[in-house]
Amino acid sequence: MAPFNQDDERERAMISALNLEQRPDRARHEEDGHLDFPHGGYTRRLLFECKSAPVESDFGTGRDTGLAQLQRWATMHFVFAWFQPRDNRPKRIWYGSPAMMRDWNLAEQAYLKPDLALLNLVPDAVDDRVVSAILGDKEEYTFQDLNMLLKNQWNADKKKGRPHNLYKVNADIRSAKRTEDNLYSRRVAELAVRDRIRYLLARGGTVNNRKIFASYVMNHCVEIHPPKWAANLACAIGEALQQEEQLPHQ
């Protein structure tokens, strides 16, 4: 029998234990679960991020965590659970409100800031000399020249926010019926180099599987005790929302 260590299995166990709900159409990068919580005379939909780990271990954040993800997490509620191998029941669970997770979130954003500064500054430093070094010293460039640099980066991809083929759009010397016959100026070549640098830096502008230390969770979050996991979570949420309302508005 394989050890119980699949994130999806752990997530389902946490969702079930805490009586959270999941949208059937949710994407993998969206919330793990939600709870429609009555408070102050109206119902709020609280979005949850589930993190699990073996007993006594820290909690991973997943791959390619960038600033946008951290900003999204800043408004979300976290639940953390420890599991024993080959067991689909949480051993211990903690709840972390947005306020409880704020110190960790801000520290992670600060960790990324130098990389993000480079992402904004370096592409603008591309000049004629850099274009010649990367693509050759020419007055016009072929599709093959730019494609060797950019690969699929300028191809149309609606899922990535590129509805048009930029190899076609940017063909300023010759826009041919076949993309392979397009020709481009040095100005477009410079744009291509900048776009490639932005792409490469953006890939480095994320961090892979940074840890949320168990010590942080135990010191900042509220432990939810069994057997009434869901009822005790509701109590912890209610107290956290009350405390949130008492904080001065920033």
Cis previous bond, 163, omega within 30: no
- Give me the pLDDT at residue 33, please: 96
Model confidence at 29: pLDDT above 80: no
| Phi, psi (deg, nearest 5) at residue 189 | -60, -40
The single-letter code of the amino acid at 53 is A
- Give me the pLDDT at residue 153, please: 94
pLDDT band at 205; cut points 50, 70, 90: low
Model confidence at 1: pLDDT above 50: no
Q: What tokens were used for 232?
A: 């005790």
Is the CB of residue 170 less than 8 Å from the CB of residue 189?
Answer: no
Q: How far apart are CA 146 and CA 163, in angstroms?
A: 19
- Give me the pLDDT at residue 30, please: 87
- Give me the pLDDT at residue 121, please: 83
pLDDT band at 6; cut points 50, 70, 90: low
Percent of the chain with pLDDT over 90: 68
The single-letter code of the amino acid at 168 is K
- Give me the pLDDT at residue 249, please: 58
- Comparing 218 with 121, the larger pLDDT belongs to 218
Is the CB of residue 236 less than 8 Å from the CB of residue 244?
Answer: no
The answer for residues whose C-beta is within 8 angstroms of residue 204's C-beta and 6 or more apart is 115
- Give me the pLDDT at residue 4, please: 44
What would the mean pLDDT of 220-248 be, rounded to a whole number? 93
How remote is the C-alpha of 99 from its chain's centroid? Answer: 19
Model confidence at 224: pLDDT above 70: yes
Q: What's the mean pLDDT when you consider all of the chain?
A: 90
Summarised one tens digit per residue, pLDDT across range 87-146 is: 889 999 999 999 999 999 999 988 888 777 877 788 888 999 999 999 999 999 999 999
Summarised one tens digit per residue, pLDDT across range 34-90 is: 999 999 889 999 999 999 999 999 999 877 788 888 999 999 999 999 999 888 899
What would the mean pLDDT of 157-169 be, rounded to a whole number? 90
Model confidence at 209: pLDDT above 80: no
